[in-house]
Amino acid sequence: MLRPTLSLIAITFVVLCCRLVPAQSGQISAGGFSFSDELGGFRLISVSGSGTTTEPFVIVEEIFDNLPAVLVIRRQTGFEKLPSWKPGAGSKLIYVKKIIRNLTNRGWTGFDLELRQLLDEPSRYEDGLSFNQVTRKETDVTSDKFADHRRRFEPRDSIRFEKGHVDTGAQLTLRLPISDTTPVGKFYLMQEPIYLSVASNKAIDLMVPVSAPGAAELRGGEAPSHR
């Protein structure tokens, strides 16, 4: 009876390890775009929708690591021919609903998002990439866990969600628009939870390494302005 027992323990151990080890990076296509977690720090679970106001991209993720979670977004060939991609004003605007599960070992007291055309440089005015800088409708940006948000359009395109809390194991839902008036083949959505320092009782950005681009500003600098 000893061998079957040991075999059962071994099988159980393997199953548990498989659940704890993050899945390999994946790329999921939807609505003329592809989305990838190839840079690590989180797991991309699913993507659906077409990016319109009535059918936004629904992106489901799990953040499990104390590293910046960077979502890589690519345009697929022929995206401009899609029915939802109409010519004229607003044709380069997509709507996103993000569902993020906190699998880190700390609760979040805020959440930062930043758009970048180049991974190691903040977005510039001339790149046309923003969280809908043209109309700036506050109702386009919402959260189920944070009561307020602040948007900055220059010198970087970012949103800071605040006045709330996301416990470990809990789920966060964010809604936001992304506009790009000069489309390129690839851009990045930087995702950085803000943690509460037990010692100082102040929110700190533990997700941003000291060597990361813009780390000094995010750790101790000015927060994104509301307009």
**Residue 173 contacts by C-beta under 8 Å, 6 or more apart in sequence?**
97, 98, 99, 100, 143, 144, 145
Instruction: Categorize the per-residue pLDDT at 65 as very low, low, confident or very high, splitting at 50, 70 and 90.
Output: confident
Percent of the chain with pLDDT over 70: 66
Q: Residue 29 pLDDT > 70, yes or no?
A: yes
Q: Stretch 56-63: mean pLDDT, rounded?
A: 97
**Highest-pLDDT range among 6-10, 14-18, 88-92, 164-168:** 164-168
Q: Mean of the per-residue pLDDT values for the chain?
A: 76
Q: Residue 32 pLDDT > 80, yes or no?
A: yes
What pLDDT is stored for residue 90 in this prediction? Answer: 39
What pLDDT is stored for residue 151 in this prediction? Answer: 83
Residue 202 has a CB neighbour count (10 Å cut-off) of 8
Contacts by residues 75-80 (CB-CB < 8 Å, ≥ 24 positions apart): 75/32, 75/33, 75/183, 75/184, 75/185, 75/186, 76/29, 76/32, 76/33, 76/34, 78/32, 79/32, 79/33
Least confident stretch, 50-64, 85-99, 110-124 = 85-99
What pLDDT is stored for residue 25 in this prediction? Answer: 61
Contact of 30 with 49, CB cutoff 8 Å: yes
Q: Stretch 95-109: mean pLDDT, rounded?
A: 96
- Residues 168-211 pLDDT 10s: 999 999 999 998 877 778 999 999 999 876 544 444 443 343 33
On whether the pTM is more than 0.75, the answer is: no
- Residue 129's nearest CA partner among 156, 149, 111, 151 is 156
